[in-house]
Amino acid sequence: MASPKAPKKRGHDGTEEVQPPPAKRGRGRPRKDPNAPPKHPKDPNAPKRGRGRPRKDPNAAPIAKPKVPGRGPGRPKKDSTAPTAAPSKSKSLPKVSTTTTSKSKVSSTRSTSAPNTTLAQFVGTYDITCEEVEDNWPDAADDMTLSIHPLPRTKSALIACFNLGILEGTMLIAADKKTLERVHKQVAATDSVKSDKSAVAVPKGGTLYFVWRGQNIGDDDQVHTGNGGQQSGTLKFNAEDMSFKGVGSFPALGAECSFIGTKISNEASDEPEPWSNYSEEAYEEANEQRWG
């Protein structure tokens, strides 16, 4: 490659002067000038400076930093003098008024009705009072009771042993007349019922229906089989204390004899006699054994 020509320049007299070409700058560190005077030698006792930041002097007094207001950790405190911002609209659903709920609770508390339950609540022993017996047979009115038991093999009916002073016997009890009629037929035929484990829901403090068989208490022991269908009645229970008001048809006491039961135990006491023990056949057999 040809070297560049030196530029020409005219002098004051008009003649052209040839200028020397500019010196080229090489790469890297420039060479030392051999004609330059030597530098002063380094002091071997002078402290050497290491790499990085110089060490702190432990004897030097600490420099107090000027306090500059800055943001500390956490959320900054609210300025008490600042105006209160308008509350933002909540995105949550509005609260439902509890006025209606409270009223419904009050009304349900005052209501005499109670949730449905099973016949097991009526099992227990009841003390009986009956004005008809007390007025006419006061000596026989001391030990009147009703003892209600579960009826074996079913949850839809109950069986009870009763004493009304001048009468004693067995009751079949159910929550409705249709069930009572079905159970009555089965017990009258076989002294038992078909297996039925389904519980019947009844309102607490509701009305139960009954039929009964029994005999007179005394010397004659006359049997009352109830084959004419007149030996029946109702037991209307109170939900608060499980007492009841009973009305039934009993010989010598009237077709609508009233009596009151007060629960004294949740456990039944006296066992009821089998339904067949109060039949005509059983009565005749008992008389033959007694009189020979």
Q: Tens of pLDDT along the chain (292 residues)?
A: 555 555 555 555 565 555 665 555 555 565 666 676 666 555 666 555 555 555 666 676 665 555 555 555 556 566 555 555 555 444 444 454 444 444 444 333 333 434 567 899 999 999 999 999 999 999 999 999 999 999 999 999 999 999 999 999 999 999 999 999 999 999 999 988 888 777 777 766 789 999 999 999 987 778 999 877 789 999 999 988 999 999 999 998 999 999 999 999 999 999 999 999 998 887 777 667 666 6
> Considering only CA atoms, which of 175, 53, 173 is closest in space to residue 118?
175
Model pLDDT, residue 227: 78
CB atoms within 10 A of CB 21: 11
Radius of gyration from C-alpha coordinates of the chain: 58
| 271 Cβ contact partners less than 8 Å away, ≥ 6 residues apart | 147, 149, 161
For residue 201, what are the CA distances in angstroms to 159, 177, 210? 17, 14, 17
| pLDDT at residue 8, as a whole number | 55
pTM, entire model: 0.59
Spatial separation of the C-alpha atoms in residues 123 and 199, rounded to whole Å: 14
The whole-number pLDDT of residue 110 equals 38
State the greatest distance between any 2 C-alpha atoms of the chain, in Å, as a whole number: 188
Q: Whole-angstrom Cα distance, residue 44 to residue 33?
A: 25
pLDDT at 192 (0 to 100): 86
